[in-house]
């Protein structure tokens, strides 16, 4: 078998990107899609030439499907992933892996017991930008990493998203929605986190939908919308992370790493490209570095291809469940620290994923 047959569950906004990208990899054959709203599944099947639109139950019962790509809302990630595993299929979840640690741990347990794989977004760290950053760090371009910062500051998604309510419920907010990009990038660059501390607040108790059929409706905010965290890595590096849906404008970088011999300016970890810049003592300006070969455009689905290739070649996959669980654990610990006023030592860890440039993904 040189490819895996894929079924997609969840045909909302993000599915169009996945359904555009995944067919570019010979290792993936998208054969079916499903959604609770069957009309959405039929529309995506027609738009992207998918052979079959069906119910979720029918997709899970299909013995032809090897791998389920779970693009449902966060509150359904655990239920759908568990059903896929129990149906004998490996699964790739959109982030987060699940809402609760217990759910995520159960997914890992079931997958191990059944000899199946679980992958999880984000896969942006597999793009040319962050892979170039990893190469620069691994080759000592800025010496030993000492510290890092990450900033995701915006006014929130309600102005443009047609159905933004889930962003302001438990399992959403800027931390659970956007921090996985930053935390995954940090782990990719610096390794696992061992201790965290945090502060968090709900700055505005309600939000107003600004576009689409729900324009003008009020959303009650149930999760923190401004979160500040300090991350202590097992490597000894320390990072500051701020995620917010409360900021109108700012001049802060997306992500930077500071080393003994210089500084590294990384791209937005929610993207696949650059720019990547390095500053060294004795220079008067940041120097932009050429990117390693790899995707630079929106390539969500890259992690699915890496998972499929890993299954077929019996190697570890990079956007894996161990790292996704560690990211989830970090986010919960940040909020728990904010509530308790004390730093929290993590019980989870993970391996730093192997660089993708050492084993480039095959595309058509």
Residues 185 and 284 in one domain: yes
Instruction: Specify the pLDDT at position 161.
Output: 86
What is the mean pLDDT of the segment spanning 272-280? 97
Residues 134 and 105 in one domain: no
Does the residue 200 lie in any domain?
A: yes
Domain end: 77, 97, 120, which one?
Answer: 120
Does the residue 364 lie in any domain?
A: no
Residue 308 is inside which H or E element, if any? helix 302-313
Residues 271 and 136 in one domain: yes
Instruction: Specify the pLDDT at position 362.
Output: 52
Does the residue 94 lie in any domain?
A: yes
Q: Is the pLDDT of residue 358 over 60?
A: no
Number of domains forming the structure of the chain: 2
Residues 98 and 143 in one domain: no
Let me know: does 311 contact 1? Beta carbons within 8 Å: no
Residues 73 and 134 in one domain: no
The neighbouring-strand residues paired with 344 are 196
- Residue of higher predicted confidence among 275 and 357: 275
Residues 103 and 233 in one domain: no
Tens of pLDDT, residue by residue over 167-191, are 999 888 999 999 999 999 999 999 9
d(CA 123, CA 39): 28
Residues 192 and 215 in one domain: yes
- Does the global pTM surpass 0.75? yes
| Confidence at 126, pLDDT banded by 50, 70, 90 | very high
Residues 37 and 133 in one domain: no
d(CA 106, CA 23): 31
Does the residue 147 lie in any domain?
A: yes
Domain end: 77, 101, 120, which one?
Answer: 120
CA torsion through residues 50, 55, 58, 59, sign:
positive
d(CA 65, CA 271): 29
Instruction: Specify the pLDDT at position 364.
Output: 40
Does the residue 136 lie in any domain?
A: yes
Tens of pLDDT, residue by residue over 191-237, are 999 999 999 999 999 999 999 889 999 999 999 999 999 999 999 99
Burial grade of 113 (CB within 10 A; 0-12, 13-18, 19 or more): exposed
Tens of pLDDT, residue by residue over 31-70, are 999 999 999 999 999 999 999 999 999 999 999 999 999 9
Residues 264 and 129 in one domain: yes
* Contacts of 294 by beta carbon, 8 Å cutoff, 6+ apart: 126, 127, 128, 131, 272, 356, 357, 360
* Contacts of 47 by beta carbon, 8 Å cutoff, 6+ apart: 16, 19
Q: Is the pLDDT of residue 361 over 80?
A: no
Instruction: Specify the pLDDT at position 1.
Output: 60
* Contacts of 5 by beta carbon, 8 Å cutoff, 6+ apart: 29, 31, 64, 65, 66, 67
Tens of pLDDT, residue by residue over 243-269, are 999 999 999 999 999 999 999 999 999
Domain end: 104, 120, 136, which one?
Answer: 120
Does the residue 310 lie in any domain?
A: no
Let me know: does 203 contact 226? Beta carbons within 8 Å: yes
With pLDDT > 90 as the criterion, what percentage of the chain qualifies? Answer: 91
Does the residue 319 lie in any domain?
A: no
Residues 111 and 85 in one domain: yes
Task: Please report, for the domain that includes residue 47, its CATH number.
Answer: 3.40.50.720
d(CA 352, CA 301): 20
Does the residue 115 lie in any domain?
A: yes
Rg (C-alpha) for the chain, rounded Å, is 20
Q: How far is CA 363 from CA 20, 295, 309, in A?
A: 13, 10, 11
Task: Please report, for the domain that includes residue 219, its CATH number.
Answer: 3.30.360.10
| Confidence at 363, pLDDT banded by 50, 70, 90 | very low
Residues 131 and 273 in one domain: yes
- Give the domain range for residue 53: 4-120
- Residue of higher predicted confidence among 357 and 342: 342
Q: How far is CA 29 from CA 2, 4, 72, 214, 356, in A?
A: 10, 6, 20, 36, 22
Q: Is the pLDDT of residue 360 over 80?
A: no
Tens of pLDDT, residue by residue over 286-299, are 999 999 999 999 99
Residues 86 and 129 in one domain: no
């Amino acid at each position: 078998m040189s490819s895996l047959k894929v079924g997609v569950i969840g045909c909302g906004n993000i599915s169009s990107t996945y359904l555009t990208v995944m067919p570019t990899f010979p290792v993936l054959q998208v054969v079916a899609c499903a959604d609770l709203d069957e009309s959405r599944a039929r529309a995506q099947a027609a738009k992207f030439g998918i052979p079959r639109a069906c119910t979720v139950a029918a997709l899970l019962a299909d013995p032809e499907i090897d791998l389920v790509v779970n693009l449902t809302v966060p509150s359904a990630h655990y239920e759908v992933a568990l059903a896929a595993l129990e149906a004998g299929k490996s699964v790739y979840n959109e982030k987060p892996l699940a809402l609760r640690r217990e759910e995520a741990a159960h997914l890992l347990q079931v997958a191990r017991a059944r000899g199946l794989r679980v992958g999880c977004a984000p896969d942006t760290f597999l793009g040319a930008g962050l892979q170039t950053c990893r190469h620069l760090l691994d080759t000592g371009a800025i010496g030993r990493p000492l510290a890092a910062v990450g900033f995701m500051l915006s006014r929130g998604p309600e102005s443009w998203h047609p159905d933004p309510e889930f962003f302001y419920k438990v399992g959403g907010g800027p931390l659970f929605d956007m921090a996985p990009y930053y935390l995954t990038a940090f782990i990719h660059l610096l390794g696992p986190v061992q201790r965290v501390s945090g502060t968090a607040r709900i700055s505005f108790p309600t939000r107003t939908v600004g576009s689409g059929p729900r324009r003008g409706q009020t959303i009650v905010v149930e999760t923190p919308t401004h979160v500040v965290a300090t991350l202590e890595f097992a490597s000894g590096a320390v990072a500051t992370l701020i995620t917010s849906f409360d900021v109108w404008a700012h001049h802060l970088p997306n992500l930077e790493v500071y080393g003994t011999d210089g500084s590294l300016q990384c791209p937005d970890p929610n993207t696949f490209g650059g720019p990547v810049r390095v500053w060294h003592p004795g220079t008067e300006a940041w120097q932009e570095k050429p990117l390693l070969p790899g995707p630079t455009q929106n390539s969500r689905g890259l992690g699915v291809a890496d998972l499929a290739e890993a299954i077929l070649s019996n190697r570890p996959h990079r956007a894996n469940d161990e790292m996704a669980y560690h990211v989830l654990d970090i986010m919960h610990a940040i909020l728990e620290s904010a509530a308790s006023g004390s730093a929290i030592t993590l019980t989870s860890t993970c391996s730093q994923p192997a660089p993708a440039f050492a084993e480039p993904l095959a595309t058509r």
